[in-house]
Chains A and B, each alone.
Chain A
Amino acid sequence: MATMDRRDALRALASAPLAAAAITWTDTEAVAASQAAAQARQTAQQTKAPYKPKFFTAAEWATVGVLVDVIIPRDEKSGSATDAGVPEFMDFMMVDQPTRQTAMRGGLAWLEHECQVRFDKRFSACTDAERRAVLDDISWPRRAKPEMAYGVTFFNSFRDLTASGFFTSKIGMADLQFKGNTVVMNWKGCPPEVMKKLGV
């Protein structure tokens, strides 16, 4: 497959600084590359075994999967947190930054306990309304009751990690319409339409 990765592209730029030409692929090369990539993705999806978490237990994993999608659901603009691989990201971070582990495990246990007390069910087995009843009590720090403080602390941190995982994913960056991380031959600064909007 004829490919030119970014590094090669940048090397090419470096070797011809005055040419100021965009790096181009021939149409045939581009089509071949994108077809090969699509094929590879499909094959990977078909043969992929389900992800086995390294940190989360099976019960925790079920809860995490439900909770991240309650926090960042699919909408008209983009997919959900699980579509973006947020649980896998969290699992990785728990192993990578072990100091997070106790708060995560304990927070999930707190949530399960709360659901047991209120509904005699695990969080993942609760109805949507039941989940909301608990989450409404811990996801608004300003109005939360003092006895919910442990849940609030957990939820703040879990929400942060969900957002980080989602918006750093390919899906999340597309959702935000992130336009950078690209080679700009001629930097022009703040676009005129934004200047106009800001009044500068």
Chain B
Amino acid sequence: MQVIRSRDQYDVCVIGSGAGGGMAAKVLTEAGARVLMLEAGIDFDPAKDSKMMMWSYESPRRGAATPDHAFGEFLAENGGWTLDGEPYVSAPGTTFDWFRCRMVGGRTNHWGRISLRYGPDDFQRATIDGLGDNWPITYDDIKPYYDEIDRFIGIFGTNEGFRNEPDGIFQPPPAPRCHELLIKAAAGRLNVPCVPSRMSVLTKPLGDRPACHYCGECARGCAVHANFSSPSVLLPPAMKTGRLTLRTHAMAREVTVGADGLATGVLYIDTRTGRENHVPARIVVLAASACETARLLLNSKSAKFPQGLANSSGKVGRYLTDSTGASVNGFIPKLMDQIPHNDDGVGGAHLYVPWWLDNKKLDFPRGYHIELGGGRSMPQAGFGGGIQRYSGMHESREIGGYGAQLKNEYRRFYGATINLSGRGEMIPNEDTYCEIDPNLVDKFGIPVLRFHFKWSDAEVKQAKHMQETFRAIITEMGGTPMGNMPGENANYGLANGGRIIHEIGTTRMGNNPSTSVLNRNGQAHDVKNVFVTDGGPFVSQADKNATWTILALALRTSTFIADERRKGGL
């Protein structure tokens, strides 16, 4: 089948419409560039597609997961751990789970809106503990961009003056829920600080976006754009310029290069027709997600770049990390027989615990933060599951049976379970990376990724510390941790690689072209008109969720591109 070749050359082709792609499109269109955005998935606009405020009983499945909605049918994401016809592989003996969204806005439709800046130490970890590498930029380099996204996107929180949890430009945080106050009190007695969350949900109107109406359902997509997602916040201003063309169902296959070694455009497949298209562009910005971007570069092989594009270092796909994750549920008798009240709030915890300890005094090198869960949220499929597990936790008697007494137990236990989840820093290691599988292609004929993943002792010990801390807090609340603590043979409950959906680092930035893929501006060392603005450029994880830093880096890189274009450098 013949490739359909467009003669219309764009200034910039952006691949991916999530946090990094959306930011690039906004900045570059506003700077005057004609931008084509390729999105592999479906169209999505929270204003019309959100299932916000739908009652569980409005669907016969009551919110249960479906193949397209791995975390529940009402949630915004169109995607999951497996996608039909788009396989990936874990190398023998290793496991990596890859969560993909195929939709406009990508995983900004899915995430928890937890918006944490990396701190000064997070850019200089190698200097502090000798592990991994430093970034080529410092906190001071990125701070103005964090400030700008705080102001433009909107974020709530409080300035606490913590050294490595930088203050920001915050809207007021929502008042805590009841169980959060109870957790905070117990944590406080154990010298664990519990402070207001930092989330990109508006508590005050911003521009033409209203404040949150506290339905607790950010993850369904906000129909009034009161929280951040790319289609709510980044794409509208880009569209308004009249210079953005958004093409959905466009699966990028290859970045093409010319005889001069520069990128000439992008070859993509229309997923509805299977036809291949080529679109010429002066600049290519990859923002397809860390692993998808690595795949695209590795698959962009040419006589000039036989190892794949921007990969003379051989480092594309390397330094992959995910956040560590472990969690414990706790049954809290004090929260039984609750006085009925609305617990919804914003879609996520109103309080969190930033990393609070000194690793020099611990047997593992990096930290984690704690996310709080619980409350009387709307019952959905799965509600009331495993009630027999409460046996002996409250009174010595067994919980179970059937009939009027059981019915009353469900009422009494509603909202009496909390959850503490740790999200911590993994250090890049030689055994964790992605590469192109030598044998397998997806339904479009594009070679797929093969993952290698290994936790080191550092992460396993951190998970142990999470377990012990969470169990101590639950006990201090007068509660009972649910389930025995997983042992060393189960990595202390450490989730599989990829499960926390914070995968980053596959096209890391650095000053040395032989050990990094991008320079400090997110520009490929090997190809000056190729940039990456997703999670790929990260040099290290931090004990913080990546999105706010993806946005700040994307803003910084996009501003660099706009400046270079103005100067005629690209």
Residue of B nearest to A189 (CB): B175
Q: Count the A-B residue pairs with Cβ separation under 8 angstroms: how many?
A: 197
Q: Does A124 contact B (CB under 8 A)?
A: no
Which of A25-33, A39-47, A56-64, A138-146 lies at the interface? A138-146
CB-CB < 8 A to A147: which residues of B? Answer: none
B340–A175 CB distance below 8 A: no
Min CB–CB distance A74 → chain B (angstroms): 9
Complex Cα–Cα for A172 and B384 (A): 12
Which of B92-100, B136-144, B374-382, B555-563 lies at the interface? B374-382
From B52, B208, B339, B403, A191 is in contact (CB under 8 Å) with B339
B342–A142 CB distance below 8 A: no
| Residue-wise interface mask of A (8-48) relative to B, using a CB-CB cutoff of 8 A (1 in contact, 0 not) | 00110110011000000000000000000000000000000
Min CB–CB distance B403 → chain A (angstroms): 6
B379–A179 CB distance below 8 A: no
Residue of A nearest to B415 (CB): A176
Q: Which of under 10, 10 to 19, 20 to 34, or 35 or more describes the interface residues of B? A: 35 or more
Complex Cα–Cα for A182 and B177 (A): 16
Complex Cα–Cα for A97 and B61 (A): 10
Known: A10-B224, A164-B381, A164-B382. A178 touches B376 (CB 8 A): yes
From A14, A136, A168, B379 is in contact (CB under 8 Å) with A168
What 10 A-B pairs have minimum CB-CB distances, sorted nearest first?
A189-B175, A163-B384, A17-B210, A177-B340, A180-B344, A190-B178, A14-B224, A184-B214, A17-B205, A200-B181
A140–B210 CB distance below 8 A: no
Q: Does A125 contact B (CB under 8 A)?
A: no
Q: Does A109 contact B (CB under 8 A)?
A: no
CB-CB < 8 A to B341: which residues of A? Answer: 179, 190-191, 194
Which of B103-111, B298-306, B404-412, B422-430 lies at the interface? B404-412
Known: A141-B400, A180-B377. A189 touches B350 (CB 8 A): yes
Min CB–CB distance A114 → chain B (angstroms): 16
Q: Does B383 contact A (CB under 8 A)?
A: yes
Q: Does B454 contact A (CB under 8 A)?
A: no
CB-CB < 8 A to B343: which residues of A? Answer: 179-180
Known: A140-B401, A175-B411, A179-B340. A160 touches B386 (CB 8 A): yes
From B53, B60, B205, A92 is in contact (CB under 8 Å) with B60
Complex Cα–Cα for A167 and B63 (A): 12
CB-CB < 8 A to A97: which residues of B? Answer: 64
CB-CB < 8 A to B404: which residues of A? Answer: 73, 75
Known: A172-B379, A176-B411. A70 touches B402 (CB 8 A): yes
B401–A163 CB distance below 8 A: no
Known: A18-B205, A75-B407. A190 touches B376 (CB 8 A): no
CB-CB < 8 A to A6: which residues of B? Answer: 53
B55–A13 CB distance below 8 A: no
CB-CB < 8 A to A163: which residues of B? Answer: 383-385, 387, 410
| Residue-wise interface mask of A (157-192) relative to B, using a CB-CB cutoff of 8 A (1 in contact, 0 not) | 001100111011110110111111111110111110
Q: Does B364 contact A (CB under 8 A)?
A: no
26 contacting pairs across A/B (C-beta < 8 A): A14-B223, A14-B225, A17-B208, A70-B402, A73-B407, A89-B62, A96-B66, A135-B402, A140-B388, A142-B400, A143-B398, A159-B402, A160-B385, A163-B385, A165-B62, A168-B57, A173-B57, A178-B379, A179-B343, A180-B344, A181-B53, A184-B214, A190-B175, A190-B176, A191-B341, A200-B184
Complex Cα–Cα for A7 and B215 (A): 13
From A139, A156, A167, A182, B383 is in contact (CB under 8 Å) with A167
Complex Cα–Cα for A70 and B384 (A): 17
Residue of B nearest to A190 (CB): B178
Q: Does B56 contact A (CB under 8 A)?
A: yes
CB-CB < 8 A to A182: which residues of B? Answer: 215, 342, 344
